Amino acid sequence: MPAHPALIVGGGPAGAAAAITLARAAMPHLLLERSRETGDALCGGFLSWRTLETLAGLGIAAADLNPVPTLRTRLFAGTSVAESPLPRPACSVSRHRLDTVLLAAAIGAGARVERGVAVREIGDSVRLDDGAELAADTVFLASGKHDVRGAARPAGARGSDPSLGLRVRIAAAPALAALVGDAVELHLFERGYVGVALQEDGSANLCMAVHRSRLQEAGSPEALLAQLAADHPALGERLAFRSGSEPIDAVANVPYGWHAAQGAPGLFRLGDQAGVIPSLAGEGMGIAIASGVSAAAAHAAGLGGQAWQERFARRIARPIGLADTIRSAAENPLGARALVATARALPASMGWAARMTRIAD
Protein backbone atom coordinates (compact mmCIF):
# COMPACT_ATOMS: atom_id res chain seq x y z
CA MET A 1 0.00 0.00 0.00
CA PRO A 2 1.64 3.32 -1.07
CA ALA A 3 2.21 5.62 1.91
CA HIS A 4 2.17 9.41 1.97
CA PRO A 5 2.94 11.83 4.82
CA ALA A 6 -0.01 14.03 3.79
CA LEU A 7 -2.89 13.63 1.34
CA ILE A 8 -5.08 16.54 0.25
CA VAL A 9 -8.49 15.33 -0.93
CA GLY A 10 -9.87 17.92 -3.35
CA GLY A 11 -8.33 20.58 -5.57
CA GLY A 12 -10.77 23.44 -5.02
CA PRO A 13 -9.86 26.67 -3.18
CA ALA A 14 -9.28 24.97 0.19
CA GLY A 15 -7.17 22.12 -1.17
CA ALA A 16 -5.15 24.34 -3.50
CA ALA A 17 -4.45 26.86 -0.72
CA ALA A 18 -3.24 24.01 1.51
CA ALA A 19 -1.04 22.66 -1.29
CA ILE A 20 0.57 26.05 -1.92
CA THR A 21 1.31 26.46 1.79
CA LEU A 22 2.74 22.94 2.17
CA ALA A 23 4.84 23.30 -0.99
CA ARG A 24 6.30 26.58 0.26
CA ALA A 25 7.18 24.91 3.56
CA ALA A 26 8.81 21.99 1.69
CA MET A 27 6.40 19.57 3.39
CA PRO A 28 5.82 16.35 1.37
CA HIS A 29 2.22 15.93 0.20
CA LEU A 30 0.00 14.75 -2.63
CA LEU A 31 -3.19 16.50 -3.79
CA LEU A 32 -5.88 14.29 -5.37
CA GLU A 33 -8.54 15.99 -7.50
CA ARG A 34 -11.36 13.90 -8.96
CA SER A 35 -11.90 16.02 -12.09
CA ARG A 36 -9.49 15.84 -15.01
CA GLU A 37 -10.51 19.30 -16.22
CA THR A 38 -11.42 22.33 -14.11
CA GLY A 39 -15.14 22.90 -14.09
CA ASP A 40 -17.26 25.77 -12.82
CA ALA A 41 -18.57 24.68 -9.43
CA LEU A 42 -21.87 26.04 -8.20
CA CYS A 43 -20.87 29.03 -6.09
CA GLY A 44 -21.82 32.63 -5.45
CA GLY A 45 -18.35 33.66 -6.56
CA PHE A 46 -17.77 36.46 -4.03
CA LEU A 47 -14.35 37.16 -2.50
CA SER A 48 -14.24 39.71 0.30
CA TRP A 49 -11.42 42.19 0.86
CA ARG A 50 -10.10 39.96 3.64
CA THR A 51 -9.99 36.93 1.33
CA LEU A 52 -8.20 39.00 -1.29
CA GLU A 53 -5.51 39.76 1.30
CA THR A 54 -5.09 36.04 1.96
CA LEU A 55 -4.87 35.35 -1.77
CA ALA A 56 -2.27 38.10 -2.16
CA GLY A 57 -0.19 36.24 0.40
CA LEU A 58 -0.40 33.22 -1.91
CA GLY A 59 0.80 35.31 -4.83
CA ILE A 60 -2.60 35.87 -6.46
CA ALA A 61 -3.79 39.42 -7.16
CA ALA A 62 -7.43 40.43 -7.40
CA ALA A 63 -6.84 41.77 -10.91
CA ASP A 64 -5.76 38.26 -11.98
CA LEU A 65 -9.27 37.08 -11.12
CA ASN A 66 -11.47 39.99 -12.19
CA PRO A 67 -10.08 43.42 -13.18
CA VAL A 68 -13.38 45.08 -12.21
CA PRO A 69 -13.83 45.27 -8.41
CA THR A 70 -17.10 44.76 -6.56
CA LEU A 71 -17.75 47.90 -4.53
CA ARG A 72 -21.25 47.80 -3.07
CA THR A 73 -24.06 45.65 -1.72
CA ARG A 74 -27.63 45.94 -2.94
CA LEU A 75 -30.49 44.35 -0.99
CA PHE A 76 -34.01 43.73 -2.35
CA ALA A 77 -37.25 42.65 -0.67
CA GLY A 78 -40.27 42.95 -2.93
CA THR A 79 -40.20 46.47 -4.37
CA SER A 80 -37.97 47.85 -1.60
CA VAL A 81 -34.24 48.23 -2.11
CA ALA A 82 -31.28 49.36 0.01
CA GLU A 83 -27.70 49.96 -1.11
CA SER A 84 -24.44 50.54 0.71
CA PRO A 85 -20.73 50.57 -0.14
CA LEU A 86 -18.73 47.55 0.95
CA PRO A 87 -16.13 48.30 3.65
CA ARG A 88 -13.40 47.73 1.05
CA PRO A 89 -13.26 46.60 -2.61
CA ALA A 90 -14.11 42.94 -3.16
CA CYS A 91 -14.16 40.64 -6.17
CA SER A 92 -16.70 38.51 -8.04
CA VAL A 93 -15.19 35.60 -9.94
CA SER A 94 -16.24 32.28 -11.42
CA ARG A 95 -15.04 29.11 -9.76
CA HIS A 96 -13.56 28.04 -13.07
CA ARG A 97 -11.27 31.06 -13.06
CA LEU A 98 -10.46 30.92 -9.34
CA ASP A 99 -9.77 27.18 -9.30
CA THR A 100 -7.65 27.41 -12.45
CA VAL A 101 -5.48 30.19 -11.01
CA LEU A 102 -5.11 28.53 -7.59
CA LEU A 103 -4.17 25.10 -8.93
CA ALA A 104 -1.68 26.65 -11.35
CA ALA A 105 -0.14 28.54 -8.41
CA ALA A 106 0.06 25.31 -6.41
CA ILE A 107 1.81 23.45 -9.21
CA GLY A 108 4.10 26.43 -9.75
CA ALA A 109 5.05 26.32 -6.06
CA GLY A 110 6.03 22.67 -6.40
CA ALA A 111 2.86 20.95 -5.19
CA ARG A 112 2.27 17.35 -6.26
CA VAL A 113 -1.10 17.15 -7.98
CA GLU A 114 -2.85 14.15 -9.53
CA ARG A 115 -6.11 14.71 -11.40
CA GLY A 116 -8.83 12.26 -12.33
CA VAL A 117 -8.45 10.45 -9.00
CA ALA A 118 -11.58 10.16 -6.86
CA VAL A 119 -11.49 9.31 -3.15
CA ARG A 120 -14.41 7.12 -2.08
CA GLU A 121 -13.70 6.36 1.57
CA ILE A 122 -11.50 7.57 4.40
CA GLY A 123 -10.76 5.18 7.25
CA ASP A 124 -7.62 3.42 8.36
CA SER A 125 -6.54 4.03 4.76
CA VAL A 126 -7.79 6.19 1.88
CA ARG A 127 -9.68 4.11 -0.68
CA LEU A 128 -9.87 5.35 -4.26
CA ASP A 129 -12.63 4.88 -6.82
CA ASP A 130 -10.67 2.12 -8.57
CA GLY A 131 -10.29 0.16 -5.34
CA ALA A 132 -6.68 1.12 -4.70
CA GLU A 133 -5.74 2.10 -1.16
CA LEU A 134 -3.31 4.72 0.07
CA ALA A 135 -1.86 5.09 3.55
CA ALA A 136 -1.52 8.62 4.90
CA ASP A 137 -0.29 9.99 8.18
CA THR A 138 -2.40 13.13 7.67
CA VAL A 139 -5.45 13.82 5.51
CA PHE A 140 -6.65 17.28 4.50
CA LEU A 141 -10.32 16.82 3.60
CA ALA A 142 -11.15 19.52 1.06
CA SER A 143 -13.98 17.88 -0.87
CA GLY A 144 -16.26 20.92 -0.69
CA LYS A 145 -19.99 20.21 -0.52
CA HIS A 146 -19.43 16.55 -1.40
CA ASP A 147 -19.12 14.19 1.55
CA VAL A 148 -16.69 11.26 1.57
CA ARG A 149 -17.69 7.97 3.16
CA GLY A 150 -16.11 7.52 6.54
CA ALA A 151 -15.75 11.25 7.11
CA ALA A 152 -19.20 12.55 6.16
CA ARG A 153 -20.78 15.46 7.95
CA PRO A 154 -23.72 14.48 10.21
CA ALA A 155 -26.98 14.02 8.32
CA GLY A 156 -28.84 15.91 11.06
CA ALA A 157 -26.98 19.09 10.14
CA ARG A 158 -29.22 19.47 7.09
CA GLY A 159 -32.43 19.95 9.09
CA SER A 160 -35.95 18.79 8.23
CA ASP A 161 -36.35 21.23 5.33
CA PRO A 162 -32.82 21.45 3.91
CA SER A 163 -31.57 24.12 1.56
CA LEU A 164 -30.59 23.48 -2.02
CA GLY A 165 -28.30 25.52 -4.21
CA LEU A 166 -29.35 26.49 -7.74
CA ARG A 167 -27.26 28.43 -10.22
CA VAL A 168 -27.79 29.89 -13.68
CA ARG A 169 -25.30 31.92 -15.69
CA ILE A 170 -26.61 34.69 -17.97
CA ALA A 171 -24.47 35.85 -20.89
CA ALA A 172 -22.94 39.31 -20.79
CA ALA A 173 -25.14 42.14 -22.08
CA PRO A 174 -24.62 45.91 -21.78
CA ALA A 175 -28.10 46.50 -20.37
CA LEU A 176 -27.63 43.76 -17.77
CA ALA A 177 -24.26 45.24 -16.80
CA ALA A 178 -25.95 48.61 -16.34
CA LEU A 179 -28.52 47.06 -13.98
CA VAL A 180 -26.08 45.19 -11.75
CA GLY A 181 -22.97 47.33 -12.14
CA ASP A 182 -20.28 47.02 -9.48
CA ALA A 183 -22.65 45.55 -6.87
CA VAL A 184 -23.26 42.16 -5.36
CA GLU A 185 -27.04 41.87 -5.05
CA LEU A 186 -29.26 39.88 -2.71
CA HIS A 187 -32.88 39.36 -3.70
CA LEU A 188 -34.84 38.01 -0.73
CA PHE A 189 -37.98 35.87 -1.00
CA GLU A 190 -39.91 33.46 1.19
CA ARG A 191 -37.70 30.49 2.14
CA GLY A 192 -34.77 31.60 0.05
CA TYR A 193 -32.73 34.28 -1.66
CA VAL A 194 -30.83 34.90 -4.90
CA GLY A 195 -27.38 36.45 -5.19
CA VAL A 196 -26.43 38.24 -8.41
CA ALA A 197 -23.01 39.52 -9.46
CA LEU A 198 -21.06 40.14 -12.66
CA GLN A 199 -18.06 37.88 -13.08
CA GLU A 200 -14.79 38.26 -14.94
CA ASP A 201 -16.24 37.70 -18.43
CA GLY A 202 -19.16 40.08 -17.84
CA SER A 203 -21.70 37.29 -17.42
CA ALA A 204 -24.10 37.40 -14.49
CA ASN A 205 -23.95 34.65 -11.90
CA LEU A 206 -27.38 34.05 -10.31
CA CYS A 207 -26.91 31.73 -7.36
CA MET A 208 -29.90 30.75 -5.24
CA ALA A 209 -30.32 29.12 -1.85
CA VAL A 210 -33.84 27.77 -1.47
CA HIS A 211 -35.52 25.40 0.94
CA ARG A 212 -36.64 22.10 -0.51
CA SER A 213 -40.27 22.76 0.42
CA ARG A 214 -40.36 25.96 -1.68
CA LEU A 215 -38.88 24.22 -4.70
CA GLN A 216 -41.30 21.31 -4.33
CA GLU A 217 -44.24 23.73 -4.23
CA ALA A 218 -43.09 25.36 -7.45
CA GLY A 219 -42.65 21.99 -9.12
CA SER A 220 -39.26 22.52 -10.80
CA PRO A 221 -36.31 24.93 -10.83
CA GLU A 222 -37.56 26.50 -14.06
CA ALA A 223 -41.04 27.01 -12.62
CA LEU A 224 -39.55 28.53 -9.47
CA LEU A 225 -37.52 31.03 -11.51
CA ALA A 226 -40.63 32.00 -13.47
CA GLN A 227 -42.60 32.46 -10.25
CA LEU A 228 -39.88 34.60 -8.66
CA ALA A 229 -39.53 36.71 -11.81
CA ALA A 230 -43.27 37.45 -11.71
CA ASP A 231 -43.39 38.22 -7.99
CA HIS A 232 -40.14 40.21 -7.65
CA PRO A 233 -39.79 42.92 -10.32
CA ALA A 234 -36.08 43.66 -9.87
CA LEU A 235 -35.16 40.00 -10.06
CA GLY A 236 -37.50 39.62 -13.03
CA GLU A 237 -35.58 42.36 -14.85
CA ARG A 238 -32.38 40.39 -14.51
CA LEU A 239 -33.93 37.04 -15.38
CA ALA A 240 -35.40 38.58 -18.53
CA PHE A 241 -31.91 38.47 -20.05
CA ARG A 242 -31.96 34.66 -20.05
CA SER A 243 -32.15 33.04 -23.45
CA GLY A 244 -33.95 30.08 -21.92
CA SER A 245 -31.30 27.58 -22.97
CA GLU A 246 -28.99 28.10 -19.99
CA PRO A 247 -28.58 25.04 -17.76
CA ILE A 248 -29.71 25.28 -14.15
CA ASP A 249 -27.07 23.68 -11.92
CA ALA A 250 -28.09 22.25 -8.57
CA VAL A 251 -26.64 20.87 -5.36
CA ALA A 252 -28.83 19.29 -2.67
CA ASN A 253 -28.89 19.29 1.11
CA VAL A 254 -26.51 22.13 1.97
CA PRO A 255 -26.10 22.17 5.78
CA TYR A 256 -26.01 25.94 6.30
CA GLY A 257 -25.07 26.92 9.83
CA TRP A 258 -23.15 23.73 10.63
CA HIS A 259 -19.51 23.61 11.69
CA ALA A 260 -17.21 20.90 13.00
CA ALA A 261 -16.75 21.72 16.67
CA GLN A 262 -14.33 18.85 17.28
CA GLY A 263 -11.58 17.23 15.26
CA ALA A 264 -9.98 13.83 14.84
CA PRO A 265 -6.31 12.87 14.97
CA GLY A 266 -4.64 12.99 11.58
CA LEU A 267 -7.60 14.73 9.88
CA PHE A 268 -7.91 18.40 8.92
CA ARG A 269 -11.41 19.28 7.70
CA LEU A 270 -11.25 22.27 5.34
CA GLY A 271 -13.76 24.59 3.67
CA ASP A 272 -17.35 23.32 3.66
CA GLN A 273 -16.12 20.21 5.48
CA ALA A 274 -15.13 22.48 8.39
CA GLY A 275 -18.16 24.77 8.38
CA VAL A 276 -20.92 25.94 6.05
CA ILE A 277 -21.73 29.62 6.31
CA PRO A 278 -25.03 30.74 4.74
CA SER A 279 -24.16 31.91 1.25
CA LEU A 280 -25.73 35.35 1.70
CA ALA A 281 -22.67 36.27 3.77
CA GLY A 282 -20.35 35.78 0.81
CA GLU A 283 -17.70 34.17 3.00
CA GLY A 284 -17.78 30.53 1.90
CA MET A 285 -14.70 30.82 -0.27
CA GLY A 286 -13.07 32.99 2.38
CA ILE A 287 -13.43 30.20 4.93
CA ALA A 288 -12.20 27.64 2.40
CA ILE A 289 -9.02 29.53 1.51
CA ALA A 290 -8.29 30.58 5.09
CA SER A 291 -8.76 27.01 6.33
CA GLY A 292 -6.35 25.64 3.73
CA VAL A 293 -3.64 28.12 4.63
CA SER A 294 -4.16 27.79 8.39
CA ALA A 295 -4.32 23.98 8.47
CA ALA A 296 -1.25 23.54 6.29
CA ALA A 297 0.71 26.04 8.40
CA ALA A 298 -0.38 24.22 11.57
CA HIS A 299 0.70 20.89 10.13
CA ALA A 300 4.09 22.32 9.15
CA ALA A 301 4.47 23.62 12.71
CA GLY A 302 3.68 20.22 14.19
CA LEU A 303 0.10 20.93 15.38
CA GLY A 304 -2.25 17.97 14.95
CA GLY A 305 -5.61 17.98 13.19
CA GLN A 306 -7.66 17.59 16.35
CA ALA A 307 -6.19 20.63 18.08
CA TRP A 308 -6.28 22.71 14.90
CA GLN A 309 -9.93 21.85 14.18
CA GLU A 310 -11.06 23.02 17.59
CA ARG A 311 -9.09 26.23 17.21
CA PHE A 312 -10.46 26.85 13.74
CA ALA A 313 -14.01 26.16 14.96
CA ARG A 314 -13.66 29.10 17.33
CA ARG A 315 -12.60 31.34 14.42
CA ILE A 316 -15.66 30.54 12.31
CA ALA A 317 -18.32 30.26 15.03
CA ARG A 318 -19.20 33.98 15.10
CA PRO A 319 -19.51 34.64 11.35
CA ILE A 320 -21.47 31.43 10.77
CA GLY A 321 -23.79 32.12 13.72
CA LEU A 322 -24.47 35.71 12.72
CA ALA A 323 -24.99 34.81 9.07
CA ASP A 324 -27.44 32.09 10.10
CA THR A 325 -29.40 34.59 12.20
CA ILE A 326 -29.59 37.00 9.25
CA ARG A 327 -30.60 34.15 6.95
CA SER A 328 -33.49 33.19 9.25
CA ALA A 329 -34.81 36.75 9.04
CA ALA A 330 -34.16 37.10 5.30
CA GLU A 331 -36.14 33.97 4.40
CA ASN A 332 -39.27 35.30 6.12
CA PRO A 333 -41.21 38.05 4.24
CA LEU A 334 -41.65 40.19 7.35
CA GLY A 335 -38.04 39.73 8.34
CA ALA A 336 -36.84 40.53 4.82
CA ARG A 337 -38.76 43.79 4.74
CA ALA A 338 -37.41 44.68 8.19
CA LEU A 339 -33.84 44.02 7.03
CA VAL A 340 -34.24 46.28 4.01
CA ALA A 341 -35.99 48.99 6.05
CA THR A 342 -33.17 48.92 8.60
CA ALA A 343 -30.56 49.06 5.85
CA ARG A 344 -32.27 52.05 4.26
CA ALA A 345 -32.56 53.93 7.55
CA LEU A 346 -29.06 52.93 8.72
CA PRO A 347 -26.87 52.24 5.67
CA ALA A 348 -23.91 51.63 7.96
CA SER A 349 -25.67 48.49 9.24
CA MET A 350 -24.93 46.74 5.94
CA GLY A 351 -21.23 47.48 6.30
CA TRP A 352 -21.32 46.26 9.90
CA ALA A 353 -22.95 42.98 8.84
CA ALA A 354 -20.37 42.59 6.06
CA ARG A 355 -17.50 43.06 8.50
CA MET A 356 -18.92 40.85 11.25
CA THR A 357 -19.54 37.90 8.92
CA ARG A 358 -15.88 37.73 7.86
CA ILE A 359 -13.75 34.95 9.34
CA ALA A 360 -11.82 36.16 12.38
CA ASP A 361 -8.06 36.73 12.12
CA dihedral 239, 183, 39, 228 (to 10 degrees): -30
Which residues, 6 or more positions from 356, have their beta carbon under 8 angstroms from its beta carbon? 318, 319, 322
Report the helix count and the strand count for the chain, using DSSP H and E.
12, 15
Q: Are strands 249-254 and 80-92 parallel, antiparallel or unpaired?
A: unpaired
Is domain 3-157+255-356 in CATH 3.40.50.970, yes or no? no
- Count other C-beta atoms under 10 Å from residue 325's C-beta: 12
Report the run of H or E that residue 341 belongs to, with start and end: helix 333-345
How confident is the model at residue 135, as a pLDDT?
92
pLDDT at 156: 75
Nearest to 114 by CA among 103, 123, 105: 103
pTM: 0.96
φ and ψ at residue 257, rounded to 5 degrees: 95, -10
- What is the pLDDT at residue 155? 81
Give every residue of the chain whose pLDDT is below 50, as ranges: none
- How many C-beta atoms lie closer than 10 Å to residue 352's C-beta? 12
Instruction: Quote the Cα angle for 280-282-286, to 5°.
Output: 145
Summarised one tens digit per residue, pLDDT across range 62-88 is: 999 999 999 999 999 999 999 999 999
- Cβ-Cβ contacts under 8 Å for 37 (sequence gap 6 or more): none
Q: Which residues of 127-165 are buried (b: 16+ CB within 10 A; e: fewer)?
A: bbeeeeebebebbbbbbbbbbbeebebeeebbeeebbbb
Domain-wise residue ranges, the chain: 3-157+255-356
